[in-house]
Structure 1
Amino acid sequence: MEESVRPLTTEEPVAHLDLPPAPASPSPSPSPRRATGSDRTPSTAWEGRYRAWVIASDLAATVVVILASAVIIDGLAFDHLHALGTALAVMIALPANRAWHQQLLGEGAEEFRRLGRGLVAAAVLVALGGLLFGALDVQPWVFVVVPVIAALAFPQRYVLRRVLHHRRRRGRCLLPVMAAGDPGTVGDLIARTKLESHVGWRVEAVCTGDGSAGAAGNGEVGGVPVVGRLGELADHVRRGGYRVVAVTADQYWTPKRLQQLAWDLEGTKAELVVAPVLMEVAGPRLNVSGVFGMPLLRVTAPKFTGGRRFVKAVVDRVVSAALLLALSPLLLLIALAIKLGGRGPAIYRQRRVGRDGDTFTMLKFRTMVRDADKVRSKLVQANEGAGPLFKMRKDPRVTRVGSVLRRYSLDELPQLFNVLSGHMSLVGPRPPLPEETESYERDARRRLLVKPGVTGLWQVSGRSDLSWAESIRLDLRYVEDWSLALDVVILWKTVRAVIGGAGAY
């Protein structure tokens, strides 16, 4: 999500949807795109407008917070030096940390990471300025004003991103993409762009090794026309106005040919993207470096211990304790509703598998009738779950109160006690049943390298509507590419997923 080699998927996954086709356009068919009469690729107008909105929102948040803080802190005779210095620090730190960089806006957690890094740098600049100019009373501006700016800027960025993603789901604000490579790998790329429209790519033309669609034989790959050979790629890009050139695996691509392609695309605004073979590895584990004049893609091993994991463990316990305290009245009301709704305990206890295969007792609010597990054998034929999971959209064992709790995931709240005890994390893979793990293959067992979570990528990407393979893929992506920023994004998205109730049954 933040690496220089742009990934095919982002750390900010959304619910997988069957996207509607883009609205009809009065212009000619874009495949191949019309000639521009120029060797320069035209800019997409919406990009500049969106970036302007992002910058304006950040500056507006800065100005409003600084003016309000100046009046509150210093009264009517506020100190202009503090206000101007803080504003100047923000305006220097954000662009210096590439918080307004075009390619980062609208996708992935890196946009928010850069914004946070820029505001931290601004606070440091204010503190250093106070020491330099002898203004030792800048503490409120460092520890209050800048954090308040962040509290306003982050939600504004999120709202703008939601507007952009909504437009992309409707087929607007998309970057025209030329894909080049083997028909199989290109087809996978096309499927991903359709499934995850928030990335903002729309593959409009394809080049293959021999200019054909391979075994399909109909001149199209994934519904996208093949317009030429790989050797003709640069000419098609110059004529067609594509903003992204996505190169996928093919035996045609040698280091020399890729270098020549990069040279041929100079002078255009087309972004050259080379998809690595490691499709599911992204984020902080990928780094590109030059060794002996060769670009090398370095893939670091995932870290399951260390300082960041310690911070995650501390945050888990502190946040779970705070949530349990704040939600205690709601927990009592839910327990009372379950008891009044029928016989049986309010809390359901079930053995689950945690980190390194250790089992623990997971707590949930009871949503089914008593002895529901004994009835399960009679419902096997109606199973709608993926893989070894047992799920039914209309499970007759679910009580009336339980259906409401499941709809909004309120039955999961007692798992905060599991987080507090250290058996679970706020964010992580789905906690499996012991019988599920018995059928795990080698890749699925990697889910057990970290603590299971109350929420995770599976929670914000469709929950029970996901296939077994997709569920495994999302959990492995989290295990391999975990970061604190990704946890924050998932927690933020969980609120929206729970309110929407998609895939909850």
Structure 2
Amino acid sequence: MTTTSENTQTLTSASPHRLLRYLPASALLIDALLVAVVGLVAIVGRRELDVFASSAQVESQLAVAGPLMIAGWIAMLAILGAYHRDVFGAGTDEYRRVLNASLLAAGVTGVGSYLVKFELSRGFFILAYGLGVPALLFGRFALRRALHSARRRGLLRQRVLIAGSRSHIDEVARVLAREPWLGYEVIGALTPEYDLSEETATGLPVVGNANEATTLAKAYSADSIFFTGGAVGSSSQFRQAVWDLEHESIQVVIAPSVTDISNERIRIRPVGGLPLMHIEPPTWTDASRWGKRLFDSLGSLGLILAFSPVFLLAATQVKLHDRGPIFFKQTRIGKDGREFQCFKFRTMVQNAESMVAELQEQQGQSALLFKMKDDPRITPPGRWMRRLSVDELPQLFNVLLGHMSLIGPRPQVAREVALYDDSMSRRLHVRPGMTGLWQVSGRNDLTAEEAIRLDLYYVDNWSMLQDISILAKTLGAVLSSRGAY
């Protein structure tokens, strides 16, 4: 095994980034500035709009109500943990705490004004909190986007050691490498004492034993230690490691062998001092309920009306190019293995289907998720339609008819479905979609394995909020043309 002194020289050549400790202060400054600006806007808006008749003079109340509301709002955010370091960067907990704190601050302001008989303008109150809550949420969103952008460039990252068996270490390391926006830089592995390997299967260097976690974490200037399966032999050993680290600025994270499960399906319930992780069943059954179908029907109808000029332009160009059919209809496999006719604008030459086998042989690809750049079958009008995903617009009629959904795994043909294994067949539990999780995560730039993983994650962890998020991200993915061909 590589010695500690040798590894220290290589892995600590760059000092760990400590600017992350200023992230809560940055959020506090942004929140205070936004609340102050919204307060001024509310004063001006109340005076100019004059929606509520009131004898209260907002300007005269500013000296009392303004500072108290700002201070109380910020204090409520702090009390509910909106500035805790762990909420930044990932998950919905940050937004939930900001929203709950803001609503609570509004309630306290309203009730407090009533109890002390303070004549607070209703117009000012409604404008201040009506504009302030979205402003705070947007401020946190902008801060998160800036943080993710910095992390993708290698900045503001946490140095991480992963302790456990080599297989568990590699599993966690692959997830952290796949999601660079999380900001974790894995600098080494800590294996059990009996494991004398110098590196894991993926090439991650083993820098020491898991029972020396505290000493090695300080030696390598680690910001976090991830404990995975096989890291410690008993709960008492782990408890001792936590005690040893309690006076260090090193975060302790437990990474169980559970991946691709959304936080909404995970419940931690301590029983007798033992934290038990309960995994709720997959949520794909919820994707078949009336709420999603209503969302699809109204959404597709509205989009058909909105894009009607684009329909006309695309149809005209396809027809004028080679006088062939405007639409391309292909039998696809939908929910529960049922066949349906999938509509698209024709973007390829008329004999495109007969060329598939030859192209697969040339590219050395299987039929599953077959895609290729510079496909010779694509027509000139088809190139711009594919780049902007205009060729998919006729599928809005499939959505309206109930064959497809706005969001879901992409529908595939029978020969592709025939290659499914047991896990991939789960894609057929839900209606196929016009766009999906892998389309907004890289589109055709992803490998087939990554696309499959994202489709299965969507099926097992469906939620309406996720659908709305994917729909919003689709616009950015289409406009950027990233991975489209």
1:478-502 Cα offsets, whole Å, 9 max, x none, are: 2222333433433333233223322
TM-score by length of 2: 0.84
Residue equivalent to 2:303: 323
Moved more, 417-426 or 301-310: 301-310
1:180: Cα distance to partner? 0.6
Give a deviation string over 1:159-183, Cα, whole Å, max 9, x none.
Answer: 3333322322232211011111112
Q: Assess, with a 3 A threshold, how the Cα gap between structure 1 residues 117 and 487 changes in structure 2: closer, same or farther.
A: farther
Matched, 1:208 2:207: no
* CA distance 1:89–1:281, change in 2 (3 Å): same
CA distance in 1, matches of 2:293, 2:98: 25
CA 1:229/1:267 → structure 2, altered by over 3 Å: closer, same or farther? same
* Matching of residue 466 in structure 1 with residue 449 in structure 2: no
**3-state DSSP of counterpart to 2:147:** helix
- The answer on whether the counterparts of 1:430 and 1:452 sit within 8 Å (CA) in structure 2 is yes
Matched with 2:373 is: 393
* Whole-Å separation in 2 of the counterparts to 1:174 and 1:315: 39
Residue pair 2:157, 2:185 contacting (<8 A) in 1 also: yes
Quote how far apart the aligned CAs of 1:105 are.
1.1
In the TM superposition, residue 371 of structure 1 has moved relative to its aligned partner by 3.9
- Name the residue aligned to 1:106: 89
User: 1:405-427 CA deviation, whole Å, 9 max, x = no partner?
Assistant: 11122222333333334433332
* Structure-2 change in CA distance of 1:153 and 1:293 (3 Å): closer
Counterpart of 1:45 in structure 2: which amino acid? R
Structure 2 partner of 1:70: 43
Matched with 1:446 is 426
2:332 corresponds in structure 1 to 352
What is the CA–CA distance in structure 2 between the aligned matches of 1:134 and 1:110, rounded to whole Å?
34
The structure 1 residue matched to 2:150, chosen from 167, 174, 181, is 167
Question: Which one of 250, 254, 258 corresponds to residue 274 of structure 1?
Answer: 254
Q: 1:138 aligns with which of 88, 113, 122?
A: 122
SS in structure 2 of the partner of residue 339 of structure 1? helix
Q: Hey, what does 1:91 align to over in structure 2?
A: 74
Q: Which residue of 1 aligns with 2:356?
A: 376
Counterpart residue type for residue 176 of structure 2: T
Shift of the 293–51 alpha-carbon distance from structure 1 to 2, 3 Å rule, reads closer
User: Would the aligned equivalents of 1:427 and 1:455 in 2 still touch at CA under 8 Å?
Assistant: yes
Deviations 1:223-257 (A, max 9, x none): 44322112211222244432211112227543332
User: Of residues 276, 280, 287 in structure 1, which corresponds to 2:267?
Assistant: 287
Percent identity over the alignment is 34
Question: How far is 1:456 from its partner?
Answer: 1.9
Question: Structure 1 120/315 Cα, relative in aligned 2: closer, same or farther at 3 Å?
Answer: farther
Structure 1 residue identity aligned to 2:44: V
Give the equivalent residue in structure 1 for 2:26.
53
Report the Cα offset of residue 444 of structure 1.
0.7
In the alignment, what sits opposite 2:4?
A: none
Counterparts in 2 of 1:176 and 1:430: CA distance versus 1, 3 Å: same
Please, what is the CA RMSD of the aligned residues? Answer: 3.4
Residues 114-171 of structure 1: CA deviation (Å, up to 9, x unaligned): 44444455555566567766979737854x6545445444444333333322322232
Structure 2 stretches lacking a partner, 5+ long: 1-7, 51-56
Correspondence for 2:212: 232
**Residue 191 of structure 1 pairs with residue 174 of structure 2:** yes
Question: What secondary structure sits across from 1:241 in the alignment?
Answer: coil
TM-score normalised by L of structure 1: 0.81
Give SS of 2:11's match.
Answer: coil
On the 8 A contact 1:320/1:417 being kept in 2, the answer is yes
Letter in 2 for 1:347: F
Aligned amino acid, residue 55 of structure 1: L
Of 217, 231, 243, 1:263 maps to 243
Equivalent residue letter for 1:235: T
Q: Is the 8 A contact 1:177 1:202 kept in 2?
A: yes
Question: Larger deviation: 84-93 or 481-490?
Answer: 84-93
- The change in CA–CA distance for 1:96 and 1:499 in structure 2 (over 3 A counts) is farther
State the 1:299 CA deviation.
Answer: 0.6
In the other structure, the counterpart of 1:13 is none
Secondary structure of the residue that 2:155 maps to in structure 1?
coil
Partner of 2:164: 181
Structure-2 change in CA distance of 1:503 and 1:238 (3 Å): same
